[in-house]
Chain A
Amino acid sequence: MEQGFRRSMEWLHTWAGVVLGSVLFAVFWMGTLSVFDNEIDRWMKPATRLPPSPQTLSLEAFRPSLDEAIAAKAAFWNIILPNDRQPELQLRYKTGKTFVSHDVDPKSGRMLPDSGTLGGTGFIFPFHYTLQIELRDMGEWVVGLAAMAMLVLCVSGVIIHRKIFAEFFTFRPHKKSRRVLLDLHNLCGVLGLPFHVFLTFSGLVILGATYFPAGVHAVYANPRAYFFDANNLSFLAVKPDRTAAPVVSLDEAATRARAMWGGDVPQTVLVANPGKASSRLAFFRVNEGHVVMDRDVVAFSGATGALLSRSPPLSPVMQAQRFLSGLHLIQFHHWVLRWMYFVLGLGSCAMIATGFLFWQESRRKKQGNTFGFRLVEGLTSGSVTGIILATLAFFVSNRLLPANVHWLGQGRAALEVWVFYTVWLATFVHGWVWPRHVWLGQSAAIAVFAAGAVLLNWVTTGDHPLRTLTHRYLWPVAGMDMVLLVGAGLALLATLRLARRVGAHSGASQRVEGAG
């Protein structure tokens, strides 16, 4: 029984890994980058590299933008105030299905030029949980399936490797490459096990209502009602009306909200149905100091200024859920922890990649020419080095494309995304057509692209690493440049190693031929 159980878990581990490993790598890679999504935004939107300002303008200074939204019959209008990681202030409203958003210098109220990019928060972060497939939430379902597979992989992986503490200290770099790959896979897996399990589980819980709608429907009329109820946003559920009414003073309402919070500042100011008698004015409290995302909201009637609701303290169940989502979304401010998330995320990526490579190495001799093997081989290179390369191409294109470029009816931001997909697809084709030198070629390309991105950042913005390192407000840019450089160095090292091995191989085969 014991043996049979382990065997079936092995089978499960192999299949779940091979089938969903690509998706998992993409999700983990983009998730790891999302840890620094705001910092990537700084890098990709040079106009927002602003020194922090000690004081910001009053909210009323943005009344013209609110009036613009009212004239456009916007469904909502909001301000996201600057914080430690985001120096600019963001104004945004939605009319029909289009979002209009502007970055604003909080000191002068000047509109910053549109950067023409989705950046980290607009592309990389959504990619992490939707894969940018918008067709009927398909992407979210695929990610959910992969996440579930990840949990299954963690459980079955632990069962396969019973000697978990021995694995903990086992790394034999001088043995055969297959053995090394497995050791590395186990090492990353065991060291990061709590991280893998918690992050996967909390990610599932965040989107839980999407994945299991049945229970929500059993109790609520629709998922929206649950969302409003769970997030204390029920004040938003109002019948739309047509009576026009101006919005009361934003600053006065903000002062009242701050008084209720004991002086804490709001992070986001929201006006729903602006300009209507039923409009709602809501303030969302900053949430930087703790892991639990309490999302404290104070809501006023936009037309009269009357207090409508304030979030009650969280119940234990909600606290548990908010702890999990806070753990996952890392809205709290702690630089050391943020870097730990990044490193552990890279560890997860390494685990998935080595798992793939181990699968290949152990089958190369026996089934190296079968269709299935070739398929997975191409899939591996495309989904491991390929997505890294595509992301770097995304960064490079961000620095290369001229502002306001239009091509084939696509705007600049869309073109960057097209570059990402084109390069990604190309890496898959590369892996299927020329499998022999795919790792060598792609790691060389990664080294070139990563170093090129740093250089291009210097040339196009004048912010070279020495300058960014010496100015505190440019550290996000410096950090990204440093990571790119380290990545370039590692990729170069890998390229040289691979090149030497290829050289040794062809030398050996020549010798064999010579002897024959």
Chain B
Amino acid sequence: MLAVVMGYFASSAFFTVLSVLLVGMGMPRAESVTLGIMLTFIVYLCLIVWAFAARAAGQPVVVFCLLILCGYGLPLFVRHGG
């Protein structure tokens, strides 16, 4: 449960960061979002497997929280109109 829900938000956060970064580096918006979507599913998959494989829940939880903080904090500083 933890892996599925937190993993979702963590990969969603990864997606946000990636999209903002790629647009910042000058990639067209549609492309960066599309690339983000494709990579995000792979990241989510890896996160789930990792969380289930880890012997203690501590390590994944810390990493997930960090990712979530980054992902949902970043848009507060970077504003892109659309």
Q: Which residues of A contact B (CB under 8 A)?
A: 4-5, 8-9, 11-12, 145, 148, 151-152, 155-156, 201, 204-205, 208-209, 212, 214-222, 225-226, 229-230, 315, 317-318, 320-321, 324
Contact = CB atoms under 8 A, between A and B. Distances in A.
Given A230-B34, A321-B34, A219 B45 contact: no
Contacts of A12: 49, 52
A356 B71 CA distance: 38
Given A205-B38, A215-B15, A218-B16, A229 B30 contact: yes
A156 B45 CA distance: 11
B52 to A, nearest CB: 5
Contacts of B72: 214
- 6 A-B pairs with the lowest CB-CB distances in the bound complex, closest first: A208-B37, A221-B82, A215-B15, A220-B82, A215-B19, A230-B30
Contacts of B20: 218-219
Contacts of B60: none
B15 A214 contact: yes
B38 A155 contact: no
Given A151-B41, A152-B49, A230-B33, 9 more contacts: A5-B53, A9-B49, A11-B52, A148-B44, A215-B36, A217-B75, A315-B31, A317-B34, A318-B30
B16 A214 contact: yes
B31 A219 contact: no
Given A208-B37, A215-B12, A8 B29 contact: no
Contacts of B30: 226, 229-230, 318
A146 B16 CA distance: 23
Nearest to A7: B53
B61 interface: no
Given A208-B37, A208-B40, A315-B28, A215 B18 contact: yes
B6 interface: no
B33 A220 contact: yes
B71 A214 contact: yes
Nearest to B79: A218
B23 to A, nearest CB: 5
Interface of B: 4, 11-13, 15-16, 18-20, 23, 28-38, 40-41, 44-45, 48-49, 52-53, 55, 71-72, 74-75, 78, 80-82
B5 to A, nearest CB: 11
Contact of A152 (B34, B40, B45): B45
B37 A212 contact: yes
A345 B81 CA distance: 43
Q: In this complex, which of B12, B23, B36, B74 has the most chain A Cβ atoms within 10 angstroms of its Cβ?
A: B36
B80 A218 contact: yes
B31 to A, nearest CB: 4
A152 B47 CA distance: 10
B30 to A, nearest CB: 4
Contacts of A11: 52
Contact of B11 (A212, A216, A220): A212
20 contacts: A145-B4, A151-B45, A152-B49, A204-B41, A205-B37, A205-B38, A208-B37, A208-B38, A212-B11, A212-B12, A214-B12, A214-B13, A215-B37, A218-B19, A220-B82, A221-B82, A226-B30, A318-B31, A320-B38, A321-B34
B42 to A, nearest CB: 8
Contacts of A214: 12-13, 15-16, 71-72
A4 B23 CA distance: 42
A215 B29 CA distance: 11
A324 B37 CA distance: 12
B47 to A, nearest CB: 11
A320 B11 CA distance: 21
Contacts of A145: 4
Contacts of B35: 317
A226 B81 CA distance: 12
Contacts of A230: 30, 33-34
Contacts of B49: 9, 12, 152, 155-156
A216 B33 contact: yes
B31 A209 contact: no
A212 B15 CA distance: 8
A408 to B, nearest CB: 40
Which of B31, B34, B55 has its CB near the most chain A CB atoms (within 10 A)? B34
A4 B38 CA distance: 31
Given A5-B53, A152-B48, A229-B30, A215 B82 contact: no
Contacts of B71: 214
A155 to B, nearest CB: 6
Contacts of B38: 205, 208, 320-321, 324
B81 to A, nearest CB: 7
B41 A201 contact: yes
A294 to B, nearest CB: 14
B52 A8 contact: yes
Q: Max chain B CB contacts within 10 Å: which of A214, A229, A324? A: A214
